Amino acid sequence: MLAITSSPPQLHVFYIPEEKLIGSLDLGEGGDVTAILHPATWLNKILLGRENGGVQVWNIRTGYSILKILPANRRKLIFETESFGSPVTCLAQSPALDIVGIGLHSGTIHIRNLRTDAEILTFSQPQPIHSLSFRTDGPPLLASSSSTGRLSIFDLNKRRVLHTLQTSSTSQPVNIAFLPNQPILLTTSKDNSIKLFIFEDSGPRLLKSRTGHSQPPTALHTHSAKWLLSSAAGSLRAQSLFNDSQSFEFSQSALMEGYQKQAAGQGYAGANIGDVIAIGSSCTRENDWDAIITASRGERGARTWSWKRKAVGNHLLYTGDKSAVTVSLQMHLGRSDQGRLFVFRTVGILGLLGVKGEISRFLICRVGLNENRTPPFR
């Protein structure tokens, strides 16, 4: 069976093999459902976290209530805790039966025995709890994530924080989960990344990661039969079409250092490049010079990138009147591709920029100089 919730607060139960709705329950007062969990071994029971800070156990099949006589529309409610004073943000099943973790928006974590309604442990962190997960092998650990990108690892025996992992502000963990019977923590993030952290004696370390664009792509370009260049939200990535583990993002650290020096004392901070609207590249001697050129929205020139260093290049090629770039492409040497203007040069790669009705040409292979400019189109 599959249980889902909706607003106004209702619980809908579906029978998956027959793909049909079994029934719906009116959850009554308490605000929207903010978390849902099926407690291990609790047959036909659903644990719900509510916006008012309460936790409820509902029976989705019978109308039996073991606590008190309830109105007809709430006879499937088996158990309800007192409000914790803050909205429930997540629920997690522990390896021990009847024990669950309850995360609150206030940053408090309650470890509670559902069967006896007894508090076992309480932890807290400065930020709201985003997700919880118990380790199922080795030492008893509890991992929590927050909206600021911080991961906290709690030791349940010593009742204290054991480790903290601070991720970047753009890599906020959305969900975390310890893999069953493994010392590995899986995280998914809003920046479209998946990471695996392995727990060793010295603490957790990053084992593997897969990352994509956090926003819809703004430009695509085929670099070769094996590589696809893509850009979104000010980042440039090379996607391998054969082995995803080889995919990477071009570094902009050199660009950031320049921005930070420029921004010193002037009241502003550096940021990534603007949205890339066009990409051009050449595979010809790509390890000898900057082999990629991009045009970004709002910039007054084209920027080069180094394939060998996997980083931003050494040149920013301004247009003749320093107006915004509208098109960018880079041609292969010694041959013409269908749909591309062919210009032969014995040294270097010829970059072409379209700027308000004219084409500016640049020799970008080694020095990044403006070679000449063609007359405007008629």
Tokens of residue 180, six digits:
């069953």
Provide the pLDDT for residue 212: 80
Q: What is the mean pLDDT of residues 346-366?
A: 49
The answer to whether residue 3 scores a pLDDT higher than 50 is: yes
Distance CA 8, CA 50 (A): 12
Average the pLDDT over each of 40-54, 149-163, 309-323 and give the range with the smallest value.
309-323
CA dist 205 to 129, 171, 288, 350, Å?
22, 16, 35, 44
Answer whether residue 260 shows pLDDT above 70.
Answer: no
Q: To which residue do tokens 């180094």 refer?
A: 306
User: What are the boundaries of each domain within the chain?
Assistant: 2-211, 219-373
Of the pLDDT bands very low, low, confident and very high (cuts 50, 70, 90), residue 199 is very high
CATH of domain 219-373: 2.130.10.10
Instruction: Scan for tokens 């709201």, then name that residue.
Output: 128
Segment 258-277 shows an average pLDDT of: 55
Residues 60-115: pLDDT tens digits? 776 433 333 345 445 567 777 788 889 999 999 999 999 999 999 999 999 999 88
Residue 338 pLDDT greater than 50, yes or no: no
**Cα–Cα dist 356/256, whole Å:** 29
The count of residues in the chain is: 378
Token pair, residue 68, equals: 């008190």
> Which pTM was predicted?
0.68
Name the residue among 121, 73, 78, 75 with its Cα closest to residue 96: 121
Amino acid code (one letter) for 205: R
Looking at residue 179, what DSSP letter applies? Answer: P
Q: Is pLDDT at 136 greater than 60 in this prediction?
A: yes
Higher-confidence residue of 265 and 105: namely: 105
pLDDT of residue 120: 93
Q: Could you tell me where the beta strands, DSSP code E, fall in 27-117?
A: 33-37, 45-50, 55-59, 77-80, 88-93, 99-104, 108-113
Q: Decide which of 321 and 17 is more confident.
A: 17
The answer to whether the 2-211 and 219-373 domains have the same CATH topology is yes
According to CATH, the topology of domain 2-211 is: Methylamine Dehydrogenase; Chain H (2.130.10)
Distance of CA 344 to the CA centre of its chain: 44
322 vs 193, residue with greater confidence: 193
- Among 86-90, 261-265, 334-338, 363-367, top mean pLDDT goes to 86-90
Amino acid symbol at 64: Y
Cα(174)–Cα(124) distance, rounded to whole angstroms?
Answer: 18
Angle at 49 between CA 44 and CA 53, to 5 degrees: 145
> Where is mean pLDDT largest: 131-135, 232-236, 340-344, 360-364?
131-135
Task: Round the average pLDDT of the chain to a whole number and report it.
Answer: 76
pLDDT at position 37 is: 92
